A and B are shown apart, each in its own frame.
Chain A
Amino acid sequence: MKISRRAFNKLIPTGYLALSTNQLSYALENSHQEMNYIQINMFGSPSRWYFDSILKPYDESPFVSKNKMITTSFSSDGINFKSEYKTIKYKGLNVPRLWNEKLISSKEKLSSIFDQALIVRGCDMILDGHENISRKLVTPFQGGESLTGRLTDLSNTPLPTVQFLQESSPLSSTPGAFSSKQNKAAINLFENQDYFEAIFIDSPKIQDKPKQFIKRINKMFGITELTLNRLSKLNQLDIQALKKNYEKKLNSYNDLIAKCRHNFKNLLVFSNPISGYKINKKEYDSTEIILNAVGPYHSDGKVILDNDLLTALDTIVFPRLADQFAMTELLMENKLTKSFVLMLLPPEEILFKKITNLDNLQFKSQNSKNVVGLRDPSLIFEESINFTFDTHDHGLALEYLINNAFFYTLANCIDQFRAFLKDNNSFDQSLIHIVSEFERTPKYNLAGSDHGFQGHTSTFIGGMFKDLSLTGNIVTNSRSKHVLNNDNGTWGMASPIKGLGNRTISYRNVLNSICDILKVPRMSKTDASLIFKEKNYWKPIFKAENIADG
């Protein structure tokens, strides 16, 4: 083919245009994904102030305590209650009391799981909505490529991203936003599926002769790519051995969770008694709305009257938690995939022995005062409740009880998982991302909490952090249009950062930071990262500050 120099030069722009298609530019600008990404996603958004939402990081940080639901220390005799946001000091930060608890496996304090971690708070999610924000957690631009899709495309592992789904919102949340430029699909494991059987089956090893025959048949139709080559890694697996290994891991996690359950009564956060509401005891000067009187003991239209709420944790279960961690370990150990989305399920089967409906309560006159009594004393019953992370209608007592139990159990699972990563020399190459859609804003009557979408916390754990660090600004006392949530103190609402051009952190900043850590091209070209590298470790650019509300 003869082309003159002039003609060739004219064709260069055309050639460049052709080459700058997504697929090719991908191939040219990056390397294979080396790092592991494990997203622990709590869809529904539980209140994080018990666990990893740091509201008063330093002694000098302004902090306004206006709503008793923002608490790390709660006790109640059923008539009066004490609630305080208490912290302990850890690595220069004031952190929730839960961090003082002892972990089951390592015997270290819970704080140790954050030894190499970065907590990003004060991220404004702009618009409300569980599904819409949940999808944003992996996709910066609606309908566009997702982080998980990108990791799948860049990975040389036999399997794509594995997503553990939950029934309540299977594909309208984070997993549903999976989108790969190479049109690959994620592996979705559903709540009611046997995870092992969904992936591993007795697939026979291919022999050479049949392989030759298949090649010849394909060649007749001009197909030269032998898809059987895709089988090589999967075909080498010893399914029986894998199954045994999975069962061993599953038993280990189940055992750990059972030990957590037995240990709840020994936790410091539960060292003071927590009673349900005591009928006819507390006196009120005037007749208020019943819900305002019994708010802390409210549970979705019912009121808890048990004498000791801790006993309800005897029956608590954490559905599929062990399975998700066990399968994640199995797939990582066999180098089958490098990215995971674990949609955690809220705890279930919390048995309360004395519950009554809210409409069975009424104000009664007693010695010229008003007390809350029962309309019909026979309408007290036993009920096993399934918790939700989206605690619009779960009062302070229930939230405190179940969230602490949940986060303690989760922390133990993370601790065990971290030990697995270290044993496999993968901790430095793995990024654990604990996330939910947003923070929560407590209601003034302590009967529940609503969506604090103007605040979001993402916690990262991995060997690429030298120490524990915190970034992101929050306001000390938020203003809200909603009567229920206005003027309720410091809960994590985002505040602008000077270094970001006086804007709040946007989730695209968080996503780009994740991309930097995972060594993949950034998801957004224009948004800054929140971290920088110093001597092989990632550090936050901005120090966390609490800003007085203007």
Chain B
Amino acid sequence: MDKTKFALFLILLQVNIISAPIYNTRFFLYNKLYSIYGKDSQAILQESLSKDAYLFGGPCNPYEQKKINEFSLFECNNGIHEYIAPSFTKSSNLKVYKLNSICSNLSKTSFIKDFNDGKKLYSYLFKKYYPLEELPAFNKIYEEGTSNYDISYSLCMSERWQRI
């Protein structure tokens, strides 16, 4: 058994090195964040996610000739070549850099600013970002008096909800 364990250990080491998390596409990001932050987020998300099909993943649909809505991520906003953008992507410095800006801007929206109770905001946001998870106690993550911005920003920048 010990020999087997050691061999398995070597194999798992190899597997662990090879596998890397895969991230949801910009379509998922858009829908998720829009559902959380509402109309205030629309301009921010359209501006950032429509330009970066390759960075966030999510090829456009070259056959979409008629706009379903006023704006559509499915439209090839930057040229027909976007139809071969990757379906899913891995983490990259530039992606985190841009997401940092998106999360910061979303956390400055009036929807977040005007939320009266930080703990209620945390509860709302955590359930939206992680609907299948049990809500941890507020003070397990945050300190008393943590600003609405920091609560929103930190949840937005957390990893798990972005991954497949």
Point out residues on A near B: beta carbons under 8 Å. Answer: 1-3, 7-8, 10-11, 14-15, 18-19, 21, 23-24, 158-160, 167, 170-171, 182-185, 187-188, 190, 192-193, 198-199, 201-204, 206, 209-210, 213-214, 216-218, 220-221, 223, 227-228, 230-231, 233-235
A226 (CB) vs chain B CBs: closest residue? B159
B115-164 residues with Cβ-Cβ distance < 8 A to A are 136, 140-143, 146, 150-151, 153-155, 157-160
Nearest CB on A from B129, distance (A): 9
Cβ B10 vs Cβ A192 within 8 A? no
Cβ B98 vs Cβ A201 within 8 A? yes
Which B residues are CB-close (under 8 A) to A7?
Answer: 2-3
For the complex, give the distance between the alpha carbons of A527 and B98 in Å: 42
For the complex, give the distance between the alpha carbons of A8 and B3 in Å: 8
Cβ A199 vs Cβ B2 within 8 A? no
| B3, B13, B158: the one within 8 Å of A218 (CB) | B158
B51 (CB) vs chain A CBs: closest residue? A198
Most chain-B Cβ atoms within 10 A of its Cβ — which of A24, A203, A217, A231? A217
- Provide a sorted-by-A list of 6 A–B residue pairs whose CB atoms are within 8 angstroms: A8-B6, A183-B20, A201-B97, A214-B157, A217-B141, A227-B159
Which B residues are CB-close (under 8 A) to A216?
Answer: 140-141
Nearest CB on A from B157, distance (A): 5
Most chain-B Cβ atoms within 10 A of its Cβ — which of A182, A192, A231? A231
Which A residues are CB-close (under 8 A) to B3?
Answer: 3, 7, 10-11
Is residue B34 within 8 Å, beta carbon to beta carbon, of the partner chain? Answer: no
| B20, B78, B155: the one within 8 Å of A217 (CB) | B155
Nearest CB on B from A427, distance (A): 27
Is residue B39 within 8 Å, beta carbon to beta carbon, of the partner chain? Answer: no
Is residue B50 within 8 Å, beta carbon to beta carbon, of the partner chain? Answer: no
Nearest CB on A from B34, distance (A): 20
Q: With A159-B94, A183-B90, A203-B98 in contact, is A23–B18 under 8 Å at CB?
A: yes
Which B residues are CB-close (under 8 A) to A231?
Answer: 93, 96-97, 100
| B14, B89, B97, B100: the one within 8 Å of A185 (CB) | B89
Which B residues are CB-close (under 8 A) to A184?
Answer: 90, 92
For the complex, give the distance between the alpha carbons of A193 and B77 in Å: 11
Which B residues are CB-close (under 8 A) to A217?
Answer: 141, 154-155, 158, 160
Nearest CB on B from A217, distance (A): 4
Is residue B66 within 8 Å, beta carbon to beta carbon, of the partner chain? Answer: no
Cβ A190 vs Cβ B150 within 8 A? no
Cβ B136 vs Cβ A227 within 8 A? no
For the complex, give the distance between the alpha carbons of A24 and B93 in Å: 22
Cβ B101 vs Cβ A190 within 8 A? no
Cβ A14 vs Cβ B10 within 8 A? yes
Give the contact-size bracket for chain B.
Answer: 35 or more
Which A residues are CB-close (under 8 A) to B62?
Answer: none
Cβ A202 vs Cβ B157 within 8 A? no
Which A residues are CB-close (under 8 A) to B153?
Answer: 210
A7 (CB) vs chain B CBs: closest residue? B3
Cβ B2 vs Cβ A209 within 8 A? no
Cβ A15 vs Cβ B10 within 8 A? yes
Which A residues are CB-close (under 8 A) to B13?
Answer: 18
| A3, A202, A214: the one within 8 Å of B101 (CB) | A202
Which B residues are CB-close (under 8 A) to A233?
Answer: 93
A1 (CB) vs chain B CBs: closest residue? B2
Q: Other than A167-B79, A213-B146, give 6 A-B pairs with Cβ distance below 8 A.
A: A24-B14, A184-B92, A187-B55, A190-B81, A213-B142, A230-B91
A16 (CB) vs chain B CBs: closest residue? B10
Nearest CB on B from A131, distance (A): 13
Cβ B2 vs Cβ A223 within 8 A? no
For the complex, give the distance between the alpha carbons of A221 and B160 in Å: 7
Nearest CB on A from B112, distance (A): 14
Q: With A193-B78, A201-B98, A202-B101 in contact, is A221–B5 under 8 Å at CB?
A: no
Q: With A203-B104, A217-B155, A227-B159 in contact, is A21–B96 under 8 Å at CB?
A: no
Q: With A21-B18, A188-B54 in contact, is A234–B93 under 8 Å at CB?
A: yes
Cβ A1 vs Cβ B6 within 8 A? yes
Most chain-A Cβ atoms within 10 A of its Cβ — which of B5, B7, B89? B7
| B11, B79, B84: the one within 8 Å of A192 (CB) | B79
For the complex, give the distance between the alpha carbons of A1 and B154 in Å: 42
Nearest CB on B from A440, distance (A): 27
Which A residues are CB-close (under 8 A) to B51?
Answer: 198
B14 (CB) vs chain A CBs: closest residue? A18
Cβ B79 vs Cβ A190 within 8 A? yes
For the complex, give the distance between the alpha carbons of A199 and B92 in Å: 13
For the complex, give the distance between the alpha carbons of A188 and B53 in Å: 11
Q: With A190-B79, A204-B101, A206-B100 in contact, is A3–B91 under 8 Å at CB?
A: no
Is residue B43 within 8 Å, beta carbon to beta carbon, of the partner chain? Answer: no
Which B residues are CB-close (under 8 A) to A203?
Answer: 97-98, 100-101, 104
For the complex, give the distance between the alpha carbons of A190 and B143 in Å: 45
Most chain-B Cβ atoms within 10 A of its Cβ — which of A18, A158, A188? A18
